[in-house]
Structure 1
């Protein structure tokens, strides 16, 4: 499928800060929509007449479309023009959000959430690629990625807060109305502040590869999310996972033989993209589960209302923004590898602290302190791993690289949430035979947080091996030194992870 070059090229913006603010707002909107429904699921279920297992698909439909279509969205942004794909994604996202808020039935609501995910799959990679266009190299990119990490983490925590506030004040439909309004405002800001970009001249779109990997990811994410409700031995779950494995193998064969592959070999030639994506998958497996289990503990065990639960996420969000802001400075002082390892271990320590929560605990003693540790580690790790996953990528593949790192985070999150939810449910079911309900629930949450901590500790070991190998063997200079790549991309970013 040939695509002629788009004719919307314009000079770089003279207001990079304003452009970054608009792009960061787009990323915030995507992350907000991921978590804003979490505390409102009981009200949504009653208001939309959803069955018991249908409420979870208000979350799953969004995650499924988002995770499955990110690679396609990233490549479309590279070929069709990143700004126009971002604007189209925001328009689709806003429309779907409005329909979700007006939905009178569960089927319409779930379908609207899936379309929301489609819009988000266009927004996230296009916005990240445009941010890299605005800050192509040097210290500015480090600061830009710090902002990116701050708004990503704040979007997850802020969604819980805003969801609780709106649900308690005006009802669950306003969750979606507010997201629709926010997306429209972001669209206007992007149109006014972000410079136009052009697609590649006479580029070829890998339709077969895109279709294959999209179906494979759809099967994978659906199988993992369905397993949380039906169990891992369900025939449909096993069939979906088997189909995903087969199609991913077919996708690998297709990509090797195609001259215009969806994931071209040049994307992995630096060695840093693969390392960054593997570590981001491990981080994502814990990240998404955290915002699932922590609000449940606050509501089901501590008895906090939706608004109080959301407000309880503020310290985590503030710590996350602080961690993202200081990540480039820490990296400049102790090196990227040490910064990644320290961030993962800090978050692991916070999760290990959460594994001590109890049925008779309270927010100040059991949640506040570990939330701050988790937020700091999460903010720093997200910035560093995003930098690692896009560092050294050819300019024409920036959108795809953004789509890939978002895909690994989403798929890692789906795998982690499915596994941890199964573990927590099993522990709770066993404990409920001889313990009160709140204590049984606490036992399940303790198990989930313990395993999450172990995953990040393992990630720190992986980071020690992969980031040193991938960076030192490629001759990457420290972030304070000037370096010019073979493709002439200029100075290395200040927050680029180095050993």
Structure 2
């Protein structure tokens, strides 16, 4: 072997090692985020009893996290592109862990909601930085399919562990541990993130930005981030309050008008500032725009269904938190199965095909959920639709991430990743607000099993309809094939060819 060949082999080996460490670090970060979402959901009824939440106020344990997470993700992605992904990832992990600890120590509803909001800020920093590192490390080809397959499988595994751990911790250790369990997870993620390449070069030899080196000049668009988060928060608040005030009340109309004004101001700032959160041309591509809208609708459906099924199992069927966690394991396991299948099928089918098939399968499962009865149980009303919906959802996870970030240049990878995760979180908060309000309106003041089931069934049927809408978006907006390998649709902020 020549010296030149040895050098090339050494470089290849080092690059493969860096890619492996990056994949490991990103996987643990995603596992932590997924664990937190599911572990808290299972503990919600006990949290309500422990801190005295009312039914509407309880949803803000979810909303506070989802809104700050979703509203600030673009800022997190921008900071990752400008200040270095590893640096932003570490800061986000520390903030996430501190907020989890504060949430576990909360003594009043507002303290827990505030801690969840702070936790969302941490997640908004770490999630896009991690996903951007993964996208830059695996830009195309089979390695990209495998990497995003691992990411989606870990995402599902975090959900599986979360629902099981959430039930066991809530019942046997107390609901506070559903928050504090994140602290050791963050510690593990920090250790791995410290040793990984935060801003790796592309595996095909084309280097990415150095860690800490700004990809674009100028200050971050703080005004845009504040306006987007405030507008979305006010919008969700207005929708949630319609259950008590009605849609035609002066308070509701004023709240929704204020939300619209803030969001219009956000659009104006983005069009006039020199350093917008959204680089010009990022949403011009059908892949990015279509995948984000698809992701928003899926996020709305999934968050609503998870919330409603958890309440159905505990308040109608009578399962305790631990048993509820166990009964969610088939769903989480099905997501893993679907994710693995997506890796294999991704070698033969375009991402759009998998998104359509997965969306339809998940919609069928949710429509089946809509047939729950007050006299039902896990085996008769939950197990079957859980398996169908979860496999469909697993088919969607990897392809939607790959589609939304394919062809995006390394200098916009953080923003594109943040936009994708933002769409899921914003969809989750808006979907839960709308679907939860509809379910509560159908239930009314009654709390009998029949009334509760009637409301939950309506909400689950609406969730199925949202997934049908996602399929329509995939069929009409997404291209039949993804961007060509290595094709850069968005680079330094301008639209590509």
TM-score by length of 1: 0.87
- Are 2:475 and 1:461 equivalent residues in the alignment? no
Question: Is the contact made by 1:270 and 1:392 (CA closer than 8 Å) also made in structure 2?
Answer: no
- 2:65 corresponding residue in structure 1: 62
Query: By how many angstroms is 1:484 displaced?
Result: 4.2
State whether residues 67 and 221 of structure 1, in contact with CA within 8 Å, keep that contact through their aligned partners in structure 2.
no
Q: From 178, 192, 200, give the equivalent of 2:214.
A: 200
Q: RMSD in angstroms over aligned alpha carbons? A: 2.5
Matches within 5 A, 1:18-33: 18-33=21-36
The one-character-per-residue Cα deviations of 1:171-212 (angstroms, maximum 9, x if unpaired) are 112222211111111111111234453332561123333333
SS at 2:387 equivalent: helix
User: What is the DSSP-based 3-state SS (H/G/I as helix, E as strand, rest coil) of the residue aligned with 2:453?
Assistant: helix
Q: Alpha-carbon deviation of 1:16? A: 2.4
Distance 1:460 1:106, change over 3 A: closer
Residue 139 (str. 1) matches residue 139 (str. 2): no
* Contact map agreement 1:228 1:418 (CA 8 A) in 2: no
Residues 270-326 of structure 1: CA deviation (Å, up to 9, x unaligned):
321101111111111101111101111111111111001011111111110111122
Larger deviation: 117-126 or 418-427?
418-427
Match among 148, 156, 170 for residue 153 of structure 1: 156
Distance 1:13 1:387 in 2: 20
- After superposition, give the CA deviation of every residue in 1:339-373 in whole Å (9 maximum; x if it has no partner): 21111111011111111111111211211111011
The equivalent position to 1:445 in structure 2, one of 453, 456, 481, is 456
Partner of 1:99: 102
Count of matched residue positions in the alignment of Structure 1 and Structure 2? 466
**Gapped regions of structure 2 (runs ≥ 5):** 1-13, 200-210, 492-497
Aligned-partner Cα distance in 2 for 1:321–1:85? 29
Partner of 1:387: 402
- Measure the CA separation in 1 of the matches of 2:102 and 2:267: 38
Give the aligned partner of residue 495 of structure 2: none
Q: Deviations over 1:56-76 (max 9, x none)?
A: 333332223212211111111
Counterpart-to-counterpart distance in 1, 2:489 and 2:442: 53
Equivalent residue runs for 1:31-430 within 5 Å = 31-50=34-53, 53-196=56-199, 197-200=211-214, 203-204=217-218, 205-227=220-242, 231-233=246-248, 235-429=250-444
- Return the alpha-carbon distance in structure 2 between the equivalents of residues 415 and 111 of structure 1: 19
What is the CA–CA distance in structure 2 between the aligned matches of 1:439 and 1:460, rounded to whole Å? 32
Q: 1:488 to 1:203 in 2, by over 3 A?
A: closer
Normalising by the residue count of structure 2, what TM-score does the alignment of the two structures yield? 0.87
Mapped partners of 1:313, 1:291: distance in 2: 9
Question: Is the CA contact (8 Å cut-off) linking 1:64 and 1:222 kept in structure 2?
Answer: no
For residues 223 and 332 of structure 2, the distance between their equivalents in structure 1, rounded to whole angstroms, comes to 41
